[in-house]
Amino acid sequence: MESKSSTTGNRDNPNRNLHGSKTMMASHFLRALFRIQQTSTSSSSAGRSRRIRRAAYASMAYSAGTRRAWSRALLRKLRSRARLRFPRRLSRAATPQRRDMDQAQVLRKLVPGGPSMDDCKLLEETADYIRFLTTQVRLMQTVMDSISS
């Protein structure tokens, strides 16, 4: 996992917070995996992938903390034990010639906390959410690689 460092200093570097967050993300996720490994039996294997998935979103949200609307929304959902669901199907707005408005609405459903964001905030939050999601996916791939070799 690379951590980009800016030659112009850290202030405007969007990845500034990501390196420390990566560490938090990894330690949180690995601890959760340990716990899941120890507390799951062969009869609960169906729920195990759900628990792992939940742990993935939890470690993303905890490492981003409360400074982002998307992470606050995720933390709220996790704490209320609500089901973590994101729309899967391609919306009908996937056809061309659709206006920006529809795509922004589609995006709102994909980013946690989206519905209460105005468009400016939505775009900022989305970029941050994608960064953290990508990092989490890479982390999971790294763990996969190291336990399957």
Partner 1 sequence: MSSRRSRLRQSGSTRITDEQINELISKLQSVLPEARRGGNDRVSAAKVLQETCSHIRRLHREVDDLSERLSELLDSADLNSAQAAFIRSLLM
> Where do contacts with partner 1 occur on this chain (CB under 8 A)?
1, 14, 23, 26, 30, 33-34, 36-37, 40, 42, 45, 48-50, 52-53, 56-57, 86, 88, 90-91, 94, 98-101, 103-104, 106-107, 110-111, 118-120, 123-124, 126-127, 129-131, 133-134, 136-137, 140-144, 146-148
Contact 88, 73 (CB under 8 A): no
Closer residue to partner 1 (CB): 78 or 107? 107
Closer residue to partner 1 (CB): 24 or 72? 24
CA atoms 21, 23, 26, 31: torsion sign = negative
Closer residue to partner 1 (CB): 8 or 148? 148
Least Å distance, CB 5 to partner 1, is: 14
Least Å distance, CB 16 to partner 1, is: 14
**Alpha-carbon distances of 87 from 98, 104, 105, 111, 123, rounded to whole Å:** 19, 14, 12, 10, 18
Place of tokens 């589609």: 106
Residues 6+ apart with CB under 8 A from 126: 107, 111
Least Å distance, CB 36 to partner 1, is: 7
Closer residue to partner 1 (CB): 67 or 100? 100
Specify burial of residue 129 (Cβ count, 10 A radius: 0-12, 13-18, 19+).
buried
Least Å distance, CB 25 to partner 1, is: 11
Q: How many CA atoms lie less than 13 Å away from 117 in the CB half-sphere?
A: 24
Least Å distance, CB 34 to partner 1, is: 6
